[in-house]
Amino acid sequence: MTQAAIISFLETVHPYDTLSKDDLAQVAGVFVRREFAAGEEIYHTGEALAGLFLVKRGSVEVLEPSGGLVSLLGPRNSFGERGLMRGGLAVTTTRATETTVTLMLPTAEFHRLIANSPAFARFFSRGRGAEARGPDLTTQKVADLMARKPVTLDPDSSIRTAAAKMRDHHVSSLGIVEDDVFLGIVTTRDMTNKVMAIGLDPSSPVGGIMTRDPVTLRPDDLGSDILHIMLERRIGHLPVVEGTRLVGMVTQTDLTRFQAVSSASLVRDAAMAETVGEMAGVTARIPALLAQLVGSKNPHEVVTRLITDIADTVTRRLLKLAEAELGPPPVPYLWLACGSQGRQEQTGVSDQDNCIMLDDAVTPDDMPYFAALAKFVSDGLDTVGYFYCPGDMMASNPQWCQPVRVWREYFRKWVAQPDPKAQMLASVMFDQRPIGGAVRLFHDLEGETLEMAARNSIFVAHMIANSLTHSPPLGLLRGFATIRSGEYKNHIDLKHSGVVPVADLGRVYALIGKLTAVNTRARLVAAEEAGVISTSGARDLIEAYDKIAEIRLENQARLIRSGRKPDNFMAPSDLSDFERSHLRDAFVVVRTMQSAIGQSRGARS
C-alpha cells in the first residue's frame, strides 16, 4: 500500500481520524503491511508483540489462553493494545479466519501516540479491555441480574392453577404472596416431588407444597452471594426481597444467560448468520446486553459503541447476503450509516438512517441492481429490529442511492441554499460513516464538503439556528418541563430533549472547526483540543452530556429488567432528589452553551 492509501484508510478509523495531518503522515509512514492466510496464527499468548495491529481487510478471532473466543474483529478494528499496555506480551491468541490484511503500528510509535495524543490515549485505555474479557458475574448487583418481574400467586390457589401459570409464563418457579407479603416459593421440582410422585390432588392449595420462608437475597447483594448460596444449598431459584415484599427471582438460567451475552458473541453470531431470521435472533439479545453493560457501570460511550458495532456487523452481513443473491456489483459502491448509527451512539431503541454512494462510472442500466440491493438490506434491517426511517432517509429511497457526482451536487446545493429542508438533510448527512464497500468513494467528498460548508458563514449560521430547535426540558422553579398529555404525560424525552441538543451542538462545533470526528463525545473533545470552544465550556458540556446519556441508558436498562421494551421517556419522579438535581444542572449547562452559540450566530448575522 502507498502512504497515501494508508492515510486515506486511517482517516476512516478512530482514533487515527483525530490526528493532525502531520501526525497522520508520520504514522502512515511507519505502518507495516502484513497478510495472513485463513487459519494462520498472528500471535500467541505470551509472545512479545511487535506492535498494534489494525485490520485492513478480512477477519481476526481473538482467543483466551484457554481457547475460548473473546471477539471476532473485522476491518478498522484494532488488537494487541492490551498486551502493549501491559509489558509488551500478548495476553490473547489471535488468528485469521479468512485471508486477512493487517497494518501493524510499531510498539515505539504506539507508545509515542499514547503519550502525545489525548484522544489516542483515551481510546486505548478506557473500557475496551474489560468488556472483551467478559462480564464479571461475581461483582454484579443482584438487581442487575434479575431477568424479569417475579410471577406470583396467592397460597389458596390450586396446584393446577399454579402449574398452568408457570406454563403460560414460561417460568420454573412462582412466588407465593398474600396481601403483598412474601410467604414462600414453588418450583417445578416441587410439582414433581410433592405432587406427581405421591399422587397429590391437583385441586389442593398450592400453599401446601410451597417451601416456606426460603433463603432470600436483597437487590444490592452481589452475584457472588448467589453463586455461594446455590452451590452450598444446591438450589436453583433464589427470591429477591425488600423487607417482606418479593421484587424478583434469580435462577440458574439467569446466570447462564448473563455469562453467555457479550458484544463479542453477538458480533460473532451476526457475522456468521446465514439468514435474516438468524440475525433477528441475534438482535433480540441486544436489550439483555444493554442492561448488562449498564449494570456493569461501563461509560455510556462504551455501551453505545458496542451496541452500534452489532448494527454495523448486521449491515455488512446483509450486504454480503445481498451480493450472494444478486451477483457481484456492476460498479464499486459504498454503504454509509447516518444518524445514531453513523455517530456510533445506538441504544436499545433505533431506527435506520442510511444511504449509498456509487462510483461515477455507474450507468442507468446498473441502477436496478443497486435498488434491489438497497431494498434487500433495508428490509432486512427492518426485520431484525432497525425499523424503517419515518422520514424515508434510507438507501432504498432512490434519492439517497446516487453516484458520487450527484452527492457532491446535493451538498453544494444544501450549503448554497440553506433553507429548513436543506438544514435538516445536512444535519443527517454530516453524521455519515462508511460501513461496507469502497471507502475511497467517500474520502474526497468528505473533505470537500467540510471545507465548503465551513467557509460559508451563512450556512454555518443556519446550522447553528437549526441546532437550537431542540431545547432541554427546563421548567420554572428548578423543575422539569414534562410532556403534558398522551401516553407519556409527566415524562421527559431523554432523546429529543436530552442527548439530541448536545449532538446538534457537537455537529456545529465539528463544522466550525472542520473536524472529521462523527461521534458526539469525540466531537466535543476534538472541539476543545482545536480551540473551537473554551476548555471550561467543553469540560462542562462533556460532563453534562455524560450525565444525560448515562441516565438515558439507566432508564432503558430499568425498563428492560422490568420486562418492558426500552424507550426514551422517563418520569423525573423515578429519580432520587440528588439525581434530579444533577440532571437539571446538566440541562442548564446545555441551555447555557446553546445561548452562547446563539449569541455568536447573532453577532455573525
Residues 6+ apart with CB under 8 A from 450: 511, 514, 516
Quickly state the pLDDT bin for 370 (edges 50, 70, 90): very high
% of residues, the chain, pLDDT over 90? 53
Alpha helices in 207-329 (DSSP H): 223-233, 252-260, 263-272, 276-283, 286-295, 300-326
Q: What is the model's pTM? A: 0.67
Q: What is the pLDDT of residue 71?
A: 67
| The CATH number of the domain covering residues in 261-455 | 3.30.460.10
Give yes or no for residue 514 having a pLDDT over 60.
Answer: yes
* Cα–Cα distance measured from residue 304 to residue 489, given in angstroms and rounded to the nearest whole number: 27
Condensed to tens digits (0 to 9), the pLDDT of residues 429-465 reads: 889 999 988 888 987 888 888 889 999 989 999 899 8
| DSSP, res 480 | B
Among 54-63, 208-217, 469-478, 486-495, the minimum mean pLDDT is found in: 469-478
Q: Are 117 and 18 in contact (CB under 8 A)?
A: yes
What's residue 477's pLDDT?
61
Here the cell at position 266 is 453477538
The candidate with the shortest Cα–Cα distance to 100, out of 114, 123, 79, is: 79
Torsion of CA 241, 246, 247, 251, to 10 degrees: 80
What is the pLDDT at residue 128?
Answer: 42
* Cis, peptide link before residue 15, omega less than 30° from 0: yes
Q: Which residues pair with 187 in a beta bridge?
A: 173
For residue range 551-564, list pLDDT tens digits in order. 999 999 999 888 88
How many Cβ atoms sit within 10 Å of the Cβ of residue 449? 23
Query: In whole angstroms, what is the distance from residue 376 CA to residue 508 CA?
Result: 34
Q: How far apart are CA 199 and CA 208, in angstroms?
A: 14
pLDDT range class, residue 69, cuts 50, 70, 90 = low
All residues at 6 or more sequence positions from 402 whose CB lies less than 8 Å from its CB, including other chains: 356, 357, 358, 410
Domain ranges of the chain: 3-125, 139-252, 261-455, 466-604
Residues in the chain: 605
The superfamily in CATH containing domain 139-252 is CBS-domain (3.10.580.10)
Using CA atoms, how far apart are residues 202 and 462, in angstroms rounded to an integer? 72
Model confidence band, residue 130 (pLDDT cutoffs 50, 70, 90):
very low
Which residue has cell 446455590? Answer: 230
What residue spans of 396-439 are helical by DSSP H? 404-416, 420-429
For 3-125, CATH number out of 3.40.605.10, 2.60.120.260, 3.40.50.12780, 2.60.120.10 equals: 2.60.120.10
pLDDT band for position 256 (cuts 50, 70, 90): low
Round to whole Å and give the CA distance between 22 and 603: 34
Cα separations (Å) of 541 from 107, 188, 363?
35, 53, 47
Q: Which residues contact 488 (CB under 8 A, 6 or more apart)?
A: 569
**Which pLDDT belongs to residue 255?**
76
Name the grid cell of 120. Answer: 489516542
